[in-house]
Amino acid sequence: MSYSRDSSYGRGRGRSYGGGASKSFNRGSSTTKPVEAGKIYEVDITEISGKGDGIARVQGFIVFIENGKVGNKIRVKVTEVADRFAKATIEV
């Protein structure tokens, strides 16, 4: 039995790595989001973002709350809705 030194051996031969699968996953703006700009929601802040905003979720949809603190259960007003997240302010 002989083995040749084929340069393609062990290099995946035609396989593509690095994000190709996510292209077919539809997360576009055509999906209905569980929050709307201008509406008020009661949320639990569970995390802090790298920028210092509180992070809450409404039906799994991420909401960033300016000046939010972990452990707060508060009412927030959504100010902006993007494809994958929303921004909100604390409602007084």
Quickly tell me which residue has 């909401």 as its tokens: 63
The torsion defined by the Cα of 43, 46, 49 and 52, in degrees rounded to 10, comes to 80
Fold of 38-90: OB fold (Dihydrolipoamide Acetyltransferase, E2P) (2.40.50)
CB-based contacts of 63: which residues, under 8 Å, 6+ apart?
35, 41, 43, 55, 56, 57, 76, 78, 85, 86, 87, 88
Q: What is the pLDDT of residue 23?
A: 46
Report helix, strand or coil for 68: coil
Task: Tell me the average pLDDT across 63-92.
Answer: 97
Residue ranges of the domains in the chain? 38-90
Residue 37 one-letter amino acid: A
Q: What is the pLDDT of residue 24?
A: 44
The pTM (predicted TM-score) of the whole model is 0.67
Q: What is the pLDDT of residue 22?
A: 46
pLDDT, one tens digit per residue, over 10-68 is 555 555 555 555 444 445 555 799 999 999 999 999 999 999 999 999 999 999 999 99
- Based on its alpha-carbon atoms, the radius of gyration of the chain, rounded to whole angstroms, reads 22
